[in-house]
Structure 1
Amino acid sequence: MELPTALRQGVDSLLEKVPLPALKQAARTLSERYRAELRDGRLHMGEDMAVKAYLATRLPATYAAVRACLDALADARPDFQPKSLLDIGAGPGTMLWATADTWPELERAVLVEASAAVRKVGQSLAAGAIAVRASWVAGDATIDLDGFDPADLISVAYVLDEIAPASLPKLVDRLWRLTADTLLIVEP
């Protein structure tokens, strides 16, 4: 599955002047962190170069997986037309792009992401390219979920494996209580 044109162009623009050796090294480091399932208190994409490595190496597959899940949801529930999205662990906005592509009538989105570097890139990629009214919020999925309004679609994709197993039941329960219609969990 191809990335939306505006997203692909935005990513290409961000990566245009990045030295290939530095990008390859950052991609190796990021991949090692994911494979090791490191839960050392550091964000996988806490630094600018790690975010760029993610965009170059993981975004296309993540987008395809998320979009396939949304397509399956749309096929199973043709009446479901979400107007609001709450995305936990939003990364660079992958779920936002896929949801807006699946349901163009999406009106608003709240994207919760702990990494300032990722939020900055996500905001930059979406600015002027997506019509959805999006709010990017700094937050840790395990502690910062108070004060959010319910949303038609709540999503958490490729996040749960980064959270301590003991925290998962409470997190999923909190997400379920915020869900106005559908809770979508995407994990490998």
Structure 2
Amino acid sequence: MSAAAHSLPQVDFLKGEIHRKHPGVTNLKTLRLPEELQMAAQSIIHRAQVTRLADRTQSLTNFLWKRKRAVEDSTLRQKAMSLEKELWLKAMEKKGDVDEQALDDRIRKKVVSELRRTTYHWTPMKYDEELGVVYMAARLAGGYAAVRRALNEIKKRDLSFAPQTLLDFGSGLGTVVWASHSCWGDTLKEMVCVDSSATMNILAERLLKGDDERAEPHIKQVYFRQFLPVSPKVQFDLVTAAFTLSELRNLKDREETVTTLWRKTSSYLVLVENGTKEGHQMLMEARDTLLNTQEKTVFDPRPASVFAPCPHELMCPKLAREQVKPCNFQQNYQPLPLPKHSDQQREKFIYLILSRTPPARPETEGVEWARLTAPVQRRTRHVHCRMCCSDGKLQHLVLTARKHSRDVYRCARSSDWGDQVPITQSADEDIEADSEIEADSE
């Protein structure tokens, strides 16, 4: 950010919009599922008659939120070697004759026991029909809200984008199809859903047909597959993977998957995960893979560019801090009307959008836009904004109408966590420690 830029450039960065609808606003009001989707889901859940549904829904929600990546084999080997060395050193400190073979066996058993006790045991999720219905009750509305909010970033900022084809990898209940249809229903002509779970594909199809086998699907031209299309030359305008990378066994699988998905992308690749440290780190892995890996065989030579949410392509500054916190966002939504569900809930998620075309940065118009990484703290005649800026740094800026112009101040005051805000002055304070407001991103 230019330290010399202390006054507002004479440009219409509002583009004719009122302050509360300025170009950086991408947050949505409280979302609810499309009526047809909600009615179909309620019908399926009611007919399934799952025992203890509310308790199982909460249990699955908690399990998926706390889910971690599997520990890499290399990490496990390194940990085993370090532990084995430590135990040998302790054993050698004791005087007397030692039966090395017996000691070696004891140490190996102790290492294995300790690793079993302290290592996260990752197992793939396997859905039968009943668990699929529990997942529907637990995650349909929240998952839809996160994806809809991520797609709104493209819809709001790229008015010319009118996708005709969609590929959704790890499609689950088909929430991406519904969210995409709500954004671009007039132009989408082919939607391919890929999920290895036949149970999930069946449930997704039932949702599209309103839980009536004889009915026409509410959204047409949706095709279900258990494997990705084979030809590397087949591309789709929009490619998505929502809450899918966390279901892959290791880093190698995740890297190969995002590389394959990128090859199949002609315009935008959208990745969404839970708003946890694990979700954040998986998306940053994917970001690094696609920005830094040079492929040997290239069918589409256009490189990846970060479209959102990062305003830069440098290392994520949150990962560089001593106390790592996820760069997550939130979206309010109305859950399915089921027992023990409140009237309104909040989905915390992380997303990454990569584009084949470098985004037209608003900085070229004389104003730099930064991404809000925490709720705006509104005070009398000033606001506190914590943001990620185009120089790759986290900044804390106190905005006032006198110092930063009335328009910039009012835009910031009307913005919320996850929006972009116009900045015309370099921040004096680099965030060194988390405030109480940023702790809410956990």
Q: Secondary structure at the match of 2:231?
A: coil
Matched, 1:95 2:176: yes
Quote the sequence identity (%).
Answer: 26
Give the 3-state SS of the residue equivalent to 1:125 in structure 2: helix
TM norm structure 2: 0.39
2:106 maps to 1:21 = no
Distance 1:170 1:11 in 2: 34
Amino acid at match of 2:37: L
Tell me if 1:36 matches 2:73: no
| Residue in structure 1 matched with residue 257 of structure 2 by the alignment | 171
In 1, distance between residues paired with 2:123 and 2:229?
Answer: 22
Matched, 1:63 2:144: yes
Shift of 1:24: 3.2
Relative distance call for 1:3 and 1:129 in structure 2 (3 A) is: farther
Q: Kindly provide the CA deviation profile for residues 117-169 of structure 1, in whole angstroms up to 9, marking residues without a partner as x.
A: 11001011113343330110013xxxx55237210000001111111222222
Within the alignment, does 1:50 sit opposite 2:131 as a pair? Answer: yes
Amino acid at match of 1:167: D
**Which residue of structure 2 aligns with residue 76 of structure 1?**
157
- Structure 1 counterpart of 2:224: 136
Please identify the structure whose Cα radius of gyration is greater. Answer: 2
SS, match of residue 230 in structure 2: coil
Q: Which amino acid aligns with 2:218?
A: I
1-side partners of 2:129 and 2:56: how far apart?
Answer: 10
Which of residues 106, 110, 121 is equivalent to 2:203?
Answer: 121
Structure 1 vs Structure 2 CA RMSD: 1.9
Give 1:57 deviation, angstroms. Answer: 1.6
SS at match of 2:32: coil
CA distance in 2, matches of 1:112, 1:165: 20
Q: Which has the higher helix share?
A: 1
Residue 49 (structure 1) shift: 1.3
The equivalent residue for 2:192 is 110
Q: Say how many residue pairs are matched.
A: 182
CA distance in structure 1 between the partners assigned to 2:149 and 2:125 by the alignment: 30
Structure-2 separation of matches of 1:20 and 1:173: 39
3-state secondary structure, aligned to 2:51: helix
3-state DSSP of counterpart to 2:163: coil
Conservation of the 8 A alpha-carbon contact between 2:61 and 2:139: no
Distance 1:184 1:133 in 2: 21
* Equivalent residues of 2:50, 2:130 under 8 A apart: no
TM-score of the aligned structures, taking structure 1 as reference length: 0.88
Amino acid corresponding to residue 123 of structure 2 in structure 1: D
Q: Give the Cα separation in 2 of the matches to 1:187 and 1:119.
A: 20
